[in-house]
Structure 1
Amino acid sequence: MTTKTSELLADAAPRAVAVVRGISDDQFDLPTPCEDYTVRVLLNHLFHAVVNFQTMAARQPVDLTDEGDLLTDGWRERFAAETQRLVQAWADPAALEGVSPGTGLPQETVGDMAVTDLTVHAWDLARATGQPYEAAPATIATLNAFMDRMGETSRQMGTFAAPVAAPPDATELDRALARMGRDPGWSPS
């Protein structure tokens, strides 16, 4: 059984895993497009998000303050396994029903948040470590739909910055990222 959310996550997960596997330990201290986040801090944040969104799929409360270090022995393989669990968690149609007790948002919106986090932070990490990254058109459409619904609220909460201008030759992903306050041309130097 699958859902639209699990299909989007199934497409985004291997892309994120490829970026994560391509990060060497000597890149942990590099800056990222997320101001004040090094590669190591952002990797931990993404790892926690992947685990937390599994719990949220089951409409269980999560402790969003737990940002302990998950980058211990075997972390790349554990991250890959957790992304597969994330896909499976959102494959249950019940995961999309009702309202999230933790956020008060519709579960479908929480699922879109999972897709957004996985995609945007994979791009952040790819950009920070000099790796290529492409998102599928359906994923980009989900990012834009999420911003249509939640963009202003997300900016007020500090999740996203004010939109920035995308260059005329920007890709669709670049345009979506610019809506979230990401500079599509960001580089670590």
Structure 2
Amino acid sequence: MKRLLLVLAVFFLFCVNVYAVSFEGLNLKNSLVVDNQTLVLDGYGIRPYYALIFKVKVYIGALYSTFNPPVNPEKLVESRQPKVILMHFLRDVSAKQIRDGFIKDFKHNMPSFINNKDEKAFLGLINKDVKENDDIYLIFLKNGDLVVSYGKLDPNCKNRINSFEAQKAVLLAFVGKKPYSKKFKKELLGIEKP
């Protein structure tokens, strides 16, 4: 009996440590390991889409980095340390809709990135429609690689480009001075709770 209680206690502690939070039915991990570094969950929230007077929940976003929340957005963007942004979709979204969202955010936050070869290469990585409960991981590696991994965290995925400029533009799309949603930006950076 004591052995069973010990096993259950260890299991309970393991479960508590693996997941930091349950949000909108999604269990977000407390940390991820990328490039042999532990990245901690900085913040999470819902990326909305505003259509006329309606607010539509598009995806849950979560930011993992080597920083501790609240995260300074300028330091995050300039850092060469690995980072991950999880996009967990709450509805079906086409690849074109995802690309169009990034293009709008690039125009507002890094206009010099528009229509250059790295922008085209990054947008080419957004090549699959997603369904409700699908995940996209945006993985920012120390060597400048930006990986777009569908379904699971896979830093070795071949769906990548090598461009610090692309890394910067994509991060600015989420945490730049003119994000689509200021509330979502603050949630990702751990400044506000959802």
Q: TM-score, normalised by structure 2?
A: 0.27
The structure showing larger relative contact order (alpha-carbon pairs under 8 Å, at least 6 residues apart) is 1
Greater strand share, structure number? 2
Q: TM-score, normalised by structure 1?
A: 0.27
Greater helix share, structure number? 1
